[in-house]
A = this chain, B = another copy of it.
């Protein structure tokens, strides 16, 4: 079978399963999720042996250690995956919730009801734990899922999916609630992006390259996730100690994540005093700093920033600095350069804070707190399938409700118009 026919066939199977998914009781879904968790644990050895194949292939292809680490499973990580699936089972079932009821003058009763999305496609990269996470959250949300993971993790993902599908079968459920793309060619993700007939929503999870490829080529509805060129604006009226703590935490606590800080915008009035403190603090973690002429003038340790620097999500120990004359200038700068993920203002002035929070056009805007909190768990959503950086449908951390839709159910007794 060629790739196009293969993906279409997979879509057809998932679409058939979605009708079953939509009417599953919460009890049945939870039974299935707990069985999946049990199965992950009882098949731990098998999954680890398949994972080993991927790691060996990665090593022999010269994969960097940071990526090997993301790819690697261990007993502990598999326990974490199983626990993650159990945690998703505990969430409130979103399906069937009546969001609104209106009775019209003509007697029609119009209910707006939360319904599953249908078939959700997930294209992701090398972390095999996404396989169980994404499948579990989609199942709980009443949707069938088509998982298309990266080539690097193909053995691990295949094993995890096999275990999950077997668990579904043992619960007398349709295995195709969880579909998996075994073909990891570039073509297979392309076909999935164009599978309009069967895919109701596609979520890419990965780096800027993957996201841009999906945005460029998808014909199915997409939620753009992930890239975060996050900014902190240190206002003229900032508490310096707080600003230093927030910047240090947001930049260095985990550099490879999308909610990490990439750029600091500083009011000129305080730059002379604040920048040297910041440079000193960030030196503890060897953070490389680039900046504009004024910043460079204040701290000789700061190198020149290029235009491109200000558009770059470093995901590493590097930070750009920009000085501004005012809060409105900071806001304008951030709206031009950010990826609409997370931005923070550090100030004691409530009015300036309100201006920033209102006018900065990002999914999550903070007053006096680290951008690292933009996360489903930290927001109390219980689970997260990604962080949306678009304005359509869902914004910021997406939990289980964010991957549902709604429909109108209208009850009449013969009304005509």
Which of A's residues lie within 8 Å of B, judged by CB? 19, 22-23, 102, 104, 108, 110, 117-118, 196, 200-201, 215-216, 219, 221, 223, 239, 242, 245-246, 248-250, 253, 335, 357-359, 361-370, 372-374, 378-380, 390-393, 395-397, 405-417
Docked CA distance A248–B416 (Å): 9
Docked CA distance A215–B368 (Å): 42
Docked CA distance A40–B79 (Å): 67
Our pick among B215, B245, B391, B392 for the contact of A416 (Cβ within 8 Å) is: B245
Query: Residue among A335, A390, A391 with the most chain B CB within 10 A?
Result: A391
B253 pairs with A416, CB closer than 8 A: yes
What residues of B have a CB within 8 angstroms of the CB of A366 in the complex?
410-412
What residues of B have a CB within 8 angstroms of the CB of A367 in the complex?
409-412
Our pick among B102, B221, B365, B391 for the contact of A117 (Cβ within 8 Å) is: B391
A380 pairs with B102, CB closer than 8 A: yes
Given A22-B358, A373-B108: A408 and B391 within 8 A (CB)? no
Docked CA distance A390–B416 (Å): 25
Please give 9 more A-B residue pairs, beta carbons under 8 A apart, in addition to A250-B416, A368-B413.
A22-B359, A102-B379, A104-B380, A221-B391, A242-B414, A246-B414, A369-B412, A391-B405, A393-B393
What residues of B have a CB within 8 angstroms of the CB of A406 in the complex?
395
Docked CA distance A165–B116 (Å): 42
Docked CA distance A315–B308 (Å): 52
Query: Residue among A110, A215, A366, A369 with the most chain B CB within 10 A?
Result: A369
In the complex, how many angstroms separate the beta carbon of A27 from the nearest chain B beta carbon? 17
Docked CA distance A142–B246 (Å): 32
In the complex, how many angstroms separate the beta carbon of A63 from the nearest chain B beta carbon? 29
What residues of B have a CB within 8 angstroms of the CB of A118 in the complex?
361, 391
A392 pairs with B223, CB closer than 8 A: yes
B408 pairs with A365, CB closer than 8 A: yes
What residues of B have a CB within 8 angstroms of the CB of A416 in the complex?
245-246, 248-250, 253, 369-370, 372
Docked CA distance A414–B243 (Å): 8
B219 pairs with A363, CB closer than 8 A: no
What residues of B have a CB within 8 angstroms of the CB of A201 in the complex?
391-392
In the complex, how many angstroms separate the beta carbon of A3 from the nearest chain B beta carbon? 21
In the complex, how many angstroms separate the beta carbon of A373 from the nearest chain B beta carbon? 6
B417 pairs with A249, CB closer than 8 A: yes
B368 pairs with A411, CB closer than 8 A: yes
Q: Can you report 18 A-B residue pairs in the complex whose CB atoms are below 8 A from each other?
A: A102-B380, A108-B373, A110-B379, A118-B361, A245-B416, A253-B417, A364-B408, A366-B412, A367-B409, A368-B414, A370-B412, A373-B410, A373-B415, A373-B417, A392-B392, A395-B408, A396-B408, A397-B408
What residues of B have a CB within 8 angstroms of the CB of A412 in the complex?
366-370
B370 pairs with A417, CB closer than 8 A: yes
Docked CA distance A358–B118 (Å): 12
